[in-house]
């Protein structure tokens, strides 16, 4: 059985004062809940080191939102996986749909970043998902399968997490039906088992896209949903804890 992971992606939000929310999140996770679920916050890169210091007194893990494929070099404005590791991060998100769309990141680029995360000793949270047009065209599984094949490097269950985020559901309030989520997650599991064998059977598959406290329990109970990647609802501790509490 995979221990679920609920990870909050703050995106380009948050100042130093926002890190108080990590204190509140940590305080809201008792021993019983801590035994049931891993909890992570991924703040902007400039806040990672401060967030790690905040989280040291709790069970909250800290991750990055992106990394460069190279360990160092002339890449102004970029952050390497090794830098995130050095700052105390334990994971990094790669291939988020906003990176794929806004920065033109291809599966090849995403795979290189995932390989960089593994190289640095970070967990790679690899995002996949279809657009609304692709879903309406009936090509969801084809798109998801292609992204899996092109974006996920060899690795173990402890190194790789997959996050299925239908692009059309991110920040829109729209959520696919439980049956739709079940279909895609079962497909992802089958593909991971085919490509990674026994390790693929144990990799965590997160669902993301307008997850909130009111729908978290239903979504987290779907077979092969091993947690959530949460956007806006992770910015405030009360909202985020309402989602984590689905595992209580």
Per-residue model confidence as pLDDT tens digits over 206-235: 999 999 999 999 999 999 999 999 999 999
Query: Residue 120 belongs to what H/E stretch?
Result: helix 107-120
pLDDT band at 170 (very low <50, low <70, confident <90, very high): confident
Question: Around Cβ 75, how many Cβ atoms within 10 Å?
Answer: 11
User: Of 246, 229, 237, 203, which Cα lies nearest the Cα of 129?
Assistant: 229
pLDDT band at 172 (very low <50, low <70, confident <90, very high): confident
pLDDT of residue 2: 87
Instruction: Convert the pLDDT of each residue in 86-128 to its tens digit.
Output: 999 999 999 999 999 999 999 999 999 999 999 999 999 999 9
Helix (H/G/I), strand (E/B), else coil: 206 = strand
Query: Is the Cβ–Cβ distance between 154 and 118 less than 8 Å?
Result: no
Higher pLDDT, 56 or 238: 238
Give the domain range for residue 186: 5-247
The CATH number of residue 191's host domain is 3.20.20.70
Give the separation between CA 89 and CA 64, rounded to whole angstroms. Answer: 7
Residues catalogued as catalytic: 96, 165
Q: What is the mean pLDDT of the chain?
A: 96
C-alpha dist (Å) from residue 104 to 11, 100, 125: 17, 5, 18
User: Of 116, 50, 51, 103, which Cα lies nearest the Cα of 77?
Assistant: 103
How many structural domains comprise the chain? 1
- pTM (two decimals): 0.97
Give the separation between CA 40 and CA 227, rounded to whole angstroms. Answer: 11
Dihedral sign for Cα 114, 25, 240, 31, please: positive
pLDDT of residue 57: 78
């Amino acid at each position: 059985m995979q221990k679920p992971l609920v990870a909050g992606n703050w995106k380009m939000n948050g100042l130093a004062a926002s890190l108080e929310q990590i204190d509140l999140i940590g305080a809201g996770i008792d021993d019983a809940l801590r035994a049931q679920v891993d909890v992570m916050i991924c703040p902007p890169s400039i806040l990672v080191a401060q967030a790690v210091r905040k989280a040291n007194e709790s069970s909250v893990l800290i991750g990055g939102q992106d990394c460069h494929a190279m360990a160092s070099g002339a890449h102004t404005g970029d952050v390497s996986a090794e830098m995130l590791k050095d700052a105390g991060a334990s994971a990094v998100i790669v291939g988020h749909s906003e990176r794929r769309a806004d920065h033109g990141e291809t599966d090849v680029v995403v795979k290189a970043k995932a390989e960089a995360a593994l190289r640095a000793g970070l967990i790679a949270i690899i995002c996949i998902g279809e657009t609304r047009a692709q879903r309406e065209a009936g090509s969801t599984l084809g798109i998801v399968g292609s992204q899996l094949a092109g974006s996920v490097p060899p690795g173990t269950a402890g190194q790789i997490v997959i996050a299925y985020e239908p692009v059309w559901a991110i920040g829109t309030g729209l959520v696919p039906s439980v049956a739709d989520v079940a279909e895609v997650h079962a497909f992802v599991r089958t593909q991971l088992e085919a490509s990674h064998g026994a390790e693929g059977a144990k990799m965590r598959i997160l669902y993301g896209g307008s997850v909130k406290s009111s729908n978290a329990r239903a979504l987290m109970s779907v077979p092969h949903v091993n947690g959530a990647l949460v956007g806006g609802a992770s910015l405030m501790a009360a909202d985020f804890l309402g989602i984590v509490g689905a595992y209580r």
